[in-house]
Structure 1
Amino acid sequence: MKSGFVSIVGRPNAGKSTILNTILGEKVAIVTPKPHTTTSAIIGVFNRDNLQIVFVDTPGIHKPHKAYGELMNKASYSSFLDADVVVLVVDASLPFGTGDNLIVERLPKDKPLIIVFNKIDLARFEQVKALKEKYQTLFKDAILIETSAIRNFNLDEIISEIEKLLPEGPQYYPLDMKTISDEEFIISEIIREKIIMLTKQEIPYSVAVVVRHIENKENKKEVLVDIVTEKDSQKGIIIGKGGKLIKRIRLQSEYDLNKHFRMPVKLEILVRVEENWRDNPKLIKKLGLMK
């Protein structure tokens, strides 16, 4: 069979996670309209007759302003090392900018490269043409593909091109497995998705979600979770007037978790402050956010 590892990279909010979820037919990575939704590498497994593709969906590469941002970038860059193929996702609705150049400078020269121009349903023809010419000049051997992940357009071509590039290899994971994320990670990501969607400005990016304890009882899960903020003012916003916002976060998270685990999940959420945690690498690792 053909098998191998494929690193999905790109700028924040280019559509990397949407592409992965759509290809797998299952939500393995959270998706929001806001940038920096993915903060850790997420592994998704695609299986077909005599083909296994292990996708590594990485955080969006950006110019970091905090230690946490630097660690996110390192997670993306390190995914190149063991990849058999690199898939660069480009937002076709935006012109080439300094953020794109940051990625271009770090892309490995010794790996097969597929460049996916996503969101073509939102882009002008001239814009897509100019982008493709720019990238073709930079990477003469790259394979260029136009897609719209939200409309499930042309994603099968990504799979076809990856299959051509992968070597013969072993079956790395069971054929019925679509992600290797553990349940702590899944729970924290779903809660974080709700925080991102229900809060504004800097709040979504100043918050960490830490699963403290999971108790598996007969036909249900009980989970203790900490939401960590950088300031008391952020803690107050997360809790909301009369505890209304934290209740919405809990109820919406429980709804999605019930569907994912196919059993009732009861969350107990505590909100606490760790001042400037995003600028403290030791604290970031203590919180379990970067291994």
Structure 2
Amino acid sequence: MKAGFVNIFGKPNAGKSTLLNALMGEKLAIVSPKVQTTRHRIKAILTEKDYQIIFSDTPGIIQPQYKLHEKMMQSVKNALEDADVAILLVDVNDNWEENDTLFSGLKLKVPAIVAINKVDKADAAKVQEAINFFEQKDYAKKVIAISAWKGVAYETFFKPILEFLPEGAPFYDDSESISDLPEKFFVSELIREKIYELTQDEIPYHTTVLIREFKEKLTLTKIVADIIVQRESQKMILIGEKGKMIKQIGTLARADIEAFLDRKVFLELFVKVRPKWRDNDMQLKEYGYGI
């Protein structure tokens, strides 16, 4: 039996969340073309007969500008410390030198696999050039080319990981569990994803979601959530004219939440202003960023 932590690192928008979802065959991490969508470390547990891999999606590595960013980078640091194998994800169309600098700066003490992503959006010569570039790097034990959006195969992805994964007993006994995070976390993330999809400019980055009520009733699950913003003007945008925007967010989020929970959902959303919440330790802890 092989078991261990395989943690995914990379720049914002490298495709880490898309990769995690492809690996699990389930939508655990929200996805958006906007940068800094992932704020938490999301662990996904994959248990098979001969191995258990705990994958971690981590926030894109950035220079912190406020306390929320610091919390995000702390989760990256924690993932660096407990990794058994590191997946270093790079967009084939991104600057390879910048990614090399970032990967070198991680000072990894575990085997690393460089996964060159989005190869469906580049010609074969460019992909091979990227492979050759990263194969020269000391931190790269193996280099593979993938398209996370199209899915990953055992031979190209899981087999190289298992070469480096240590032998040991499973960390999680329940073979049905796919994450150590509660359902409430994923519900809040699905609501936040709709805000990223439907709003522009600074709104997504100034917003978080707090689940205030999560009750499983006989025929449905009742969910009450607060959408937290920093300014009154942002609240007005999220509510929209005659409540149009908040209704649209709720309708789309409810559909995804029902698919995730596999049951009917009653979803009620409120928008609340909390000035400078991204720099307030107490509020960050309340909103789930205090760990």
The number of equivalent residue pairs is 290
Say if 2:153 is the partner of 1:136. no
Contact 1:147 1:155 in 2 (8 A): no
CA deviations on 1:234-267 (whole Å, 9 max, x unpaired) are 1111111111000011111111111111111111
Deviations 1:96-123 (A, max 9, x none): 2546523430241x20101100001112
TM-score (norm 1): 0.93
Contact 1:40/1:290 (8 A) holds in 2: no
Q: Among all aligned residue pairs of Structure 1 and Structure 2, give the percentage whose two residues are the same amino acid.
A: 37
In the alignment, what sits opposite 1:283?
Answer: 283
Within 5 Å, which residues of 2 pair with 1:45-194?
Answer: 45-96=45-96, 98=98, 101-108=101-108, 110-139=109-138, 141-154=140-153, 156-173=155-172, 174-194=174-194
1:284 Cα deviation from its structure 2 partner? 1.1
Mark the runs of 5 or more structure 2 residues left unpaired by the alignment: none
SS at match of 2:136: helix
- Three-state SS of the structure 2 residue aligned to 1:60 is coil
Tell me the alpha carbon deviations over residues 10-31 of structure 1, each in whole angstroms, 9 at most, x when there is no partner.
1111111111111211111111
SS of corresponding position for 1:142 = strand
Moved more, 165-174 or 98-107: 98-107
Q: 1:240 to 1:97 in 2, by over 3 A?
A: farther
Deviations 1:16-68 (A, max 9, x none): 11111112111111112222111101111122221110111111111222221
TM-score scaled to structure 2, two decimals? 0.93
- Show the counterpart of 1:228: 228
Given that 2:88 and 2:112 are in contact with CA atoms closer than 8 Å, whether structure 1 keeps it comes out as: yes
Task: Determine helix, strand or coil for the equivalent of 1:23.
Answer: helix
Give yes or no for contact 1:61–1:103 (8 Å, CA) kept in 2.
no
Deviation per residue, 1:62-101 (Å, 9 max, x gap): 1222221122112112101111111111111112254652
**SS in structure 2 at match of 1:149:** coil
Tell me the amino acid that sits aligned with residue 40 of structure 1.
Answer: H
Query: 1: distance between equivalents of 2:72 and 2:100?
Result: 16
3-state SS, counterpart of residue 43 of structure 1: strand
Q: Which residue of 2 aligns with 1:267?
A: 267
Structure 1 gap segments, 5+ residues each? none
CA distance in 2, matches of 1:285, 1:91: 33
Aligned residue for 2:180, secondary structure, equals coil
Counterpart for residue 38 of structure 1: 38
